[in-house]
Amino acid sequence: MERSLSQQCTKESGLGGILNAVTDTDKEGHRHLDLFKLFKPASSACDDGKNISTRTSGANGAQGPLEFDASIYPGCKYEQHSSPKGAEACYKQAQVHHEKELDDYWARVEKAKAEGRGVKQFPPGYDGPEKPADYEPVKALTVNKLPSVNEMVDQSRALNRYATGDNTKPDFKLKEVSEAEFKKAYARETLKVGESLGLAPDAVKKVVMDIYAFECGGKATHDMLSGVPMGLTRPDLEGSSANYDQRRALHPKSSAVGYNQIIMSTNLTFADNEAPAVANRLREIAKGSPRQAEIEQKAKLYEDLQGALHRELSTMANQNKSSQNKYLDNDGNFKYSLYADFARSRHNTSLGVTGRQLSTALHALNLDGDVGPVIQSRQLAQVVGHTLSESNRQKIEQKAMQFNKQAELYDGLDAKTKDKAVTEVFNRAHIAEPAVRDALRAKVQNMPAGMSDSLSLNNLSGDERSAMSIKVLALRGQPLSPAAASLVDKLHVVGYGGRVANEYLGAAVELGNLAGSKQADSMLDPAKADLPTVNFFDRKGYEANGIVQRKTAGKLLDAIFKVMHGANSSATNWGNQQFEEAYDAVK
């Protein structure tokens, strides 16, 4: 069923004409508002002269018109819609209808995945009535808030007792260090694991800084939880701890913490599988240290905690046949769902605390000045190591070559077309400072063919670099003429010294962070570059990450790259400055 009705009307239409346009008559002779007529473009429907835009998805998720059926909205009459309460009721009903569409769409997506079929349609968009100006939906009460940093630290005091099952053991005390000291230790550890993966120090630093720019905006602290306002990561003024205190008291949007934004369930997986490697590295660090005994004791603690955790996980997985099917694979190994459910569990363990409490205490070790840098660096190394497989290297290199070839199109344009492209780009960039704009434009107009370092971001002044990365390069992916689009692509290439595999490595690693290594491998496959990202995320992951929405796999990699090399990578961001100093100190 397709209908096409105009929303454009005039005051001369008259009430009768309006009602005829936007109502239907049922078989008993009663008129009801047809919201499809009211909210879709059509030839005779009226809404005070306003146009309501169409949306591009049909009931099967394909591109097409949304069918608002009057039968879905019983009693939602035009007079009611004109009143505040009526408008609210209509809006709520439209939301329910749209949610049902999304439920149906995702059910089809999961069915297609189970059958090994690709999905080529994006989720249906909402294009019903707009939310009334004075309407605010009632937010559900959050009964079980995620722990703040302060609560994580408090829970960690019991780690000695959790590790041994002995309630007489003294409190464990996290080693709190400055942000500069933590970054320095993290830089040291990432260089260590990077060397084991065959990466040069500069390549390691590049990946770390790229991930940090994407996950943390180039400003975050090692104790930053997801959703904390970036202003609270700013270093406190001397004598003040206002930002520090507020940051640690806030309840986060998710349990993600630190430079790589590690979530609690992933941290459990790591602790259960990588404890020996962490403990051995701590013992290496302890050698020759004036704190040798203390650090070696932490190594033993981490091993003992893994044993305690594994026992509790095994108990949860083997409660009955149903739990075994849910939490164990065919070889009897733990599935990720076990770690996820344990991290949320409100049921008591044999230790006398819930799964959530034990998980919270273990999560706090990411903040310890000795243990934290080792954990965070090795969790990153797991994803990096997988991304560096030979097949993935080839995929990344192919992506870089494809982009470079695309950017070369600008060199083949005639002078007149190039001038028009430059004008279009700078008109769209809106660079406020005339002197910066004119200087940058002159450099772009004089840019030679092929690779040149004249417009390398490293060779631009601070103001020029900022204008180029934030204003000009941000135009990539925006509606531009073919010539202007190729110019922006060219500027991306010369700005970053050419796209080579290492330039894309950070983005490919982040793809693994977002979707998991297996799905990231699939998204890097050129044959799947044009598939929507719904093929690689479940509904929860898709809707929670704005950057993945309404993109293909190939476009997602480009979007991640763009964030990593935009304003978040600016050398003026305090976190980036601290990391530069940290790597300089440990090289």
CB distance 484 to 421 below 8 Å: yes
Residue with more model confidence, 584 or 76: 584
Half-sphere exposure of 294 toward its Cβ, with a 13 Å CA cutoff?
Answer: 11
- State how far the alpha carbon of 127 is from the alpha carbons of 66, 131, 459, in Å: 8, 11, 47
Give residue 130's pLDDT: 84
For 122, other C-beta atoms within 10 Å of its C-beta total 19
Assess whether pLDDT exceeds 50 at residue 246: yes
Q: What SS3 state is found at 576?
A: helix
Distance CA 283, CA 301 (A): 12
Backbone φ, ψ for residue 350 (5° rounding): -70, -15
- Exposed/middle/buried for residue 543 (C-beta within 10 Å: 0-12, 13-18, 19+): middle
Count of other CB atoms within 10 angstroms of residue 521: 21
**More confident of the two residues 354 and 475:** 354
SS3 at position 439: helix
Instruction: Identify the weakest region by mean pLDDT among 54-63, 136-145, 447-456.
Output: 54-63
**More confident: 81 or 186:** 186
Tell me, what's the pLDDT at 140? 58
Give the rounded percent of residues in the chain with a pLDDT score beyond 90: 64
Which residue do the tokens 């601070």 mark?
A: 462
pLDDT of residue 38 exceeding 70, the answer is no
Tens of pLDDT along 377-436? 999 999 999 999 989 988 888 887 777 777 788 999 999 999 999 999 999 999 999 999
Report the Cα 364 to chain-centroid distance in Å. Answer: 22
* pLDDT reported for residue 415: 95
**Amino acid 82: pLDDT:** 58
CA distance 158 to 171: 6
User: In this predicted model, which residue has the larger pLDDT, 366 or 82?
Assistant: 366
Question: Measured between alpha carbons, how far is 157 from 152 in angstroms, rounded to an integer?
Answer: 9
pLDDT of residue 12: 36
> Average pLDDT of the chain?
84
pLDDT over threshold 90, residue 450:
no
Per-residue confidence (pLDDT) for residue 83, from 0 to 100: 67
What does the domain layout of the chain look like in residue ranges? Answer: 11-114, 149-385, 392-495
Beta strands 23-25 and 31-33 are antiparallel
> Residue 135's pLDDT band (boundaries 50, 70, 90)?
confident
The arithmetic mean of pLDDT across residues 89-117, rounded, is 93
Alpha carbons 86 and 80: distance in angstroms, whole number: 4
Question: Between 278 and 34, where is the model more confident?
Answer: 278
Return d(Cα 364, Cα 372) in angstroms, integer. 8
Percentage of the chain exceeding pLDDT 70? 83
Number of H helices, E strands in the chain: 25, 2
Cβ(374)–Cβ(278) below 8 Å: yes
Tokens at 251, concatenated = 């309840």
pLDDT band at 34 (very low <50, low <70, confident <90, very high): very low
pLDDT of residue 30: 43
In this prediction, residues 558-569 reach a mean pLDDT of 86
- Whole-angstrom distance, CA of residue 134 vs CA of residue 84: 8
